[in-house]
Amino acid sequence: DAGITQSPRHKVTETGTPVTLRCHQTENHRYMYWYRQDPGHGLRLIHYSYGVKDTDKGEVSDGYSVSRSKTEDFLLTLESATSSQTSVYFCAISEGTSGKNIQYFGAGTRLSVL
């Protein structure tokens, strides 16, 4: 299994509170991603990173911010959580070289915003 750890694995929070999810990898892969998965929508990209301090938006980035200060850590922050952000969040990593751009996923974080 790829060395990806997400924390926390489960979280319940209230509307309006800030929430930070952490993704930690031990593979030294260049690319890291945050997705959310909701019924009927599949996996949707929130933000991704292509190196330390290099990040870009995905298709559903509103209400989310990210930071990557070290190769191994990619943080996802919900500045002020809303009920629409209740979802399962997956972190993924990719080596990033041509022919080896397979993604590997963490176990996910189940977030409930009440």
Name the site residues for other proteins (rule: CB under 8 A). Answer: 31, 33, 35, 40-45, 48, 50, 90, 94, 96, 98, 101-108
Residue whose CB is less far from other proteins, 29 or 78: 29
Minimum gap (Å) between residue 80 Cβ and other proteins? 27
Task: Write the DSSP string, 32-89.
Answer: EEEEEEETTTEEEEEEEEEETTEEEE-TT-TTEEEEEEETTEEEEEESS--GGG-EEE
Residue whose CB is less far from other proteins, 62 or 98: 98
Q: Retrieve residue 36's tokens.
A: 């959310």
Instruction: Say if residues 68 and 32 touch (Cβ distance below 8 Å).
Output: yes
Minimum gap (Å) between residue 87 Cβ and other proteins? 13
Minimum gap (Å) between residue 33 Cβ and other proteins? 8
